[in-house]
């Protein structure tokens, strides 16, 4: 199946960190066309502008990922997972390395109590390298409701269907985009999935966070307060 793969990466400066340089190099070797979004005012706006500029074909694959991640899967495995999950399977929406099969009314996908009940899915390495990291195993790879935004991938047709615009009720420009996008896909009947894409995330993987994260989360909760929990 002849499809192009694009990666949109928001970054603060044209002077890239060593991690971002390594990520761009990896993606280039994997024959992914990288679009660096430098100095965007909003992650929603940055992704939308990049998508419009690329003007992808429906079966092209779009990756949206953080600039502080390293992909440690071989490039062949990486591409095969993208192709298998997004092009060869029916009704798949977004894929990513981690998510949850049940989103409770606190709208925190990594909720500890849900984790104890084996609701989560996927795996992420947290640290600086494979020899200096912690393995965070969330649960078996499977269909999920929503996914974490450190890495998301979907067909262009899916993204066009759900839209990348920021919800009007959100105050913050950088937070809760991942839950928003994957929830939109879930609501439209797409099957989001945690998939075996092996990633090292330089951050701890949790937002104790920015004030805008809490405000956007509350806006999301207010919007869906009569519909929780979301379960697959």
For the chain, give every domain's residue range: 67-231
Question: Over the chain, what is the mean pLDDT?
Answer: 95
| Residue 205 confidence (pLDDT) above 50 | no
| Residue 88 confidence (pLDDT) above 80 | yes
**What pLDDT band is residue 210 in, cutting at 50, 70 and 90?**
confident
How many whole angstroms separate alpha carbon 106 and alpha carbon 96? 21
DSSP state of 66: -
> What letters, b where the CB count within 10 A reaches 16 and e where it falls short, cover 31-61?
ebebbbbeebebbbebbbbbbeebebeeebb
> What letters, b where the CB count within 10 A reaches 16 and e where it falls short, cover 112-135?
eebeeeebbbbbbbbbeeeeebee
Percent of the residues in the chain that have a pLDDT greater than 70, as a whole number: 97
| 115 SS3 class | helix
pTM for the predicted model, two decimal places: 0.96
Residues 6+ apart with CB under 8 A from 80: none
For strand 151-155 and strand 61-65, is the pairing parallel, antiparallel, or unpaired? antiparallel
Residues 6+ apart with CB under 8 A from 76: none
Instruction: Read off the pLDDT of residues 99-146 as tens digits, 9 standing for 90 and up.
Output: 999 999 999 999 999 999 999 999 999 998 888 899 999 999 999 999
Please name the fold of domain 67-231.
Spore Coat Polysaccharide Biosynthesis Protein SpsA; Chain A (3.90.550)
The better pLDDT of the pair 207, 147 is held by: 147
**What pLDDT band is residue 97 in, cutting at 50, 70 and 90?**
very high
**What is residue 130's predicted lDDT score, i.e. its pLDDT?**
86
- The answer to whether 171 touches 219, Cβ cutoff 8 Å, is yes
**What is residue 1's predicted lDDT score, i.e. its pLDDT?**
61
| Residue 223 confidence (pLDDT) above 80 | yes
């Amino acid at each position: 199946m002849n499809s192009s793969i694009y990666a949109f990466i928001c970054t603060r400066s044209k002077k890239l960190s060593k991690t971002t340089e390594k990520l761009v190099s990896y993606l280039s070797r994997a024959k992914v066309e990288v679009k660096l979004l430098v100095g965007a005012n909003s992650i929603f706006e940055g992704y939308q502008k990049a998508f419009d500029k690329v003007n992808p074909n429906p079966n092209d694959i779009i990756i949206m990922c953080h600039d502080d991640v390293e992909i440690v899967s071989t490039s062949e495995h990486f591409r095969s997972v993208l192709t298998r999950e997004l092009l060869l399977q029916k009704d798949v929406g977004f894929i990513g390395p981690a998510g949850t099969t049940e989103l409770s009314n606190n709208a925190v996908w990594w909720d500890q109590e849900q984790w104890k009940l084996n609701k989560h899915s996927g795996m992420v390495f947290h640290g600086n390298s494979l020899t200096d990291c912690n393995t965070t195993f969330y649960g078996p790879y499977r269909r999920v409701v929503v996914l974490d935004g450190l890495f998301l991938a979907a067909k262009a047709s899916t993204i066009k269907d759900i839209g990348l615009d920021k919800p009007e009720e959100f105050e913050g420009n950088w937070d809760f985009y991942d839950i928003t996008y994957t929830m939109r896909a879930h609501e439209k009947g797409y099957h989001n999935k945690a998939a075996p894409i092996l990633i090292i995330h330089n951050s701890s993987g949790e937002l104790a966070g920015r004030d805008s994260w809490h405000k956007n989360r509350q806006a999301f909760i207010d919007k869906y307060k009569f519909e929780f929990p979301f379960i697959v």
